[in-house]
C-alpha cells in the first residue's frame, strides 16, 4: 500500500519536476504553501480512501511526499484536520465540474439527462470519492459536521437541480410537486450504488458490471429512470 501512495506522490512531484537551472519541486513547494497543501491533499485522498480514517497513517503520507509529519501537522493541525480538508476538496472538485456543464443552455429534459449522465460518469471514474463518502458515513458525518465550508460547497448542486426542474415545470414537461433536494438525492443514490456496490452485486447476481457495454447500458438506464420520474 505504501508503494501505491508513493506512486500517487511521484505523480504529483513529476508534474512539477524542474527544468535545468530551475528550483526543485521540493523547493517550489516550500515557497508555495498553497501548492504544498494541494499536493498533500492529493496524496492523502488516496490514503484515506483506501484505509479509512482509522487506518490511514500520516507517516505514510509524509514519506510519499518526501516531507515531514511536522510539516503536515503545521498545515492541517492534526490527522483529523487533514481528513476534513480531503473531504472538502473531494466535494469541491465535483461541484466545480458540475458548475461548468452549462445546463442553462439546454432544454430542461436535455439538461437533466446531461446532469444525471455526468453524475454517473464522475462517480464511476472517481472511486476514491465514493470510498471517502462511505468512510464518513461510517462515522455518521462526525467530521463533515466540523467543516465550515461543506454546506456552502454543496449549495450549487441543489441550485442546479432546482433551476433545471423549475424550467421543466414551467415548460410543462416535468410534473410539479417534486422537492429538488429529493431529486438530487435520487440521482446521487442511483449513481453511488452503481459504483459502490458493483463488485458485490456482480458477484451475488452473476451480472457483468465492468464491460463497456454493461457500463453504457446501466448509465442509460439510470438516466431514463430519473427522467421518467419527473416527466409529466
Could you read off the pLDDT of 170-204 as tens digits, one per residue?
999 999 999 999 999 999 999 999 999 999 999 99
- For residue 186, the enclosing domain spans 87-230
pLDDT band at 231 (very low <50, low <70, confident <90, very high): very high
CA nearest 133: which of 93, 78, 74, 160?
A: 93
pLDDT in tens, 35-89: 999 999 999 999 999 999 999 999 999 999 999 999 999 999 999 999 999 999 9
**CA pair distance 205, 189, nearest whole angstrom:** 20
Res. 3: pLDDT tops 60? no
Report phi then psi at 24, rounded to 5: -70, 165
Model confidence at 8, pLDDT cuts 50, 70, 90, reads low
Please tell me the least confidently modeled range out of 31-35, 74-78, 111-115, 221-225.
Answer: 31-35
Domain co-membership, 48 together with 137:
no
pLDDT digits (tens, 9 = 90+) for 120-177: 999 999 999 999 999 999 999 999 999 999 999 999 999 999 999 999 999 999 999 9
Domain boundary among the residues 59, 77, 95 is at 77
The CA distance from 43 to 25, in Å, is: 15
CB 175 within 8 A of CB 232: yes
Supply the pLDDT for residue 16. Answer: 45
Mean pLDDT of the chain: 90
CATH code of residue 142: 1.10.357.10
**β-bridge mates for residue 231, sequence order:** 174
pLDDT at residue number 7:
55
- Tell me which of 77, 106, 124 is where a domain ends: 77
Residues 114 and 62 reside in one and the same domain: no
Say if CB 43 and CB 89 are below 8 A apart: no
Calculate what percentage of the chain has a pLDDT beyond 70.
Answer: 87
* Pure H helices in the chain: 2-15, 25-30, 33-55, 58-65, 69-76, 79-98, 108-125, 127-138, 150-170, 180-196, 198-205, 212-230
The SS3 assignment for 81 reads: helix
Confidence of residue 13 (pLDDT cuts 50, 70, 90): very low
Cα–Cα separations (whole angstroms), residue 134 to 4, 50, 138, 164: 21, 11, 6, 28
20: enclosing H helix or E strand: none
Give pLDDT, residue 132: 97
Pair 58, 91 in one domain: no
Residue 24 has pLDDT above 60, yes or no: no
Number of domains forming the structure of the chain? 2
| Pair 136, 32 in one domain | no
- pLDDT for 32 equals 83
Q: Which of 19, 53, 77 is the last residue of a domain?
A: 77
User: Cα 181 vs. chain centroid, distance in angstroms?
Assistant: 18
Residue 24 has a CB neighbour count (10 Å cut-off) of 12
Cα gap 60→58, rounded to integer Å: 5
Q: Is residue 117 part of a domain?
A: yes
Inside any domain, residue 82: no
Amino acid at each position: 500500500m505504501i508503494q501505491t501512495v508513493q506512486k500517487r506522490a511521484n505523480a504529483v512531484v513529476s508534474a512539477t519536476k524542474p527544468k535545468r537551472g530551475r528550483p526543485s519541486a521540493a523547493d517550489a513547494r516550500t515557497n508555495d504553501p498553497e501548492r504544498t497543501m494541494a499536493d498533500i491533499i492529493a496524496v492523502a485522498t488516496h490514503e484515506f480512501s483506501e484505509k479509512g480514517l482509522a487506518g490511514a497513517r500520516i507517516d505514510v503520507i509524509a514519506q510519499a511526499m518526501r516531507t515531514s509529519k511536522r510539516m503536515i501537522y503545521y498545515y492541517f493541525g492534526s490527522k483529523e484536520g487533514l481528513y476534513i480538508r480531503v473531504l472538502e476538496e473531494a466535494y469541491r472538485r465535483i461541484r466545480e465540474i458540475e458548475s461548468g456543464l452549462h445546463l442553462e443552455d439546454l432544454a430542461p429534459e436535455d439538461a437533466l439527462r446531461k446532469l444525471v449522465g455526468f453524475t454517473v460518469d464522475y462517480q464511476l471514474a472517481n472511486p476514491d470519492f465514493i470510498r471517502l463518502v462511505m468512510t464518513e458515513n461510517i462515522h455518521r458525518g462526525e467530521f463533515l459536521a466540523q467543516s465550515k465550508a461543506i454546506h456552502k460547497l454543496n449549495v450549487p448542486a441543489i441550485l442546479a437541480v432546482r433551476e433545471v426542474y423549475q424550467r421543466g415545470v414551467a415548460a410543462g414537461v416535468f410534473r410539479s410537486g417534486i422537492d429538488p433536494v429529493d431529486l438530487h438525492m435520487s440521482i446521487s443514490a442511483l449513481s453511488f450504488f452503481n459504483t459502490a456496490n458493483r463488485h458485490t452485486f456482480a458477484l451475488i447476481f452473476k451480472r457483468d458490471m465492468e464491460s463497456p457495454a454493461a457500463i453504457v447500458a446501466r448509465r442509460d438506464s439510470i438516466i431514463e429512470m430519473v427522467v421518467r420520474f419527473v416527466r409529466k
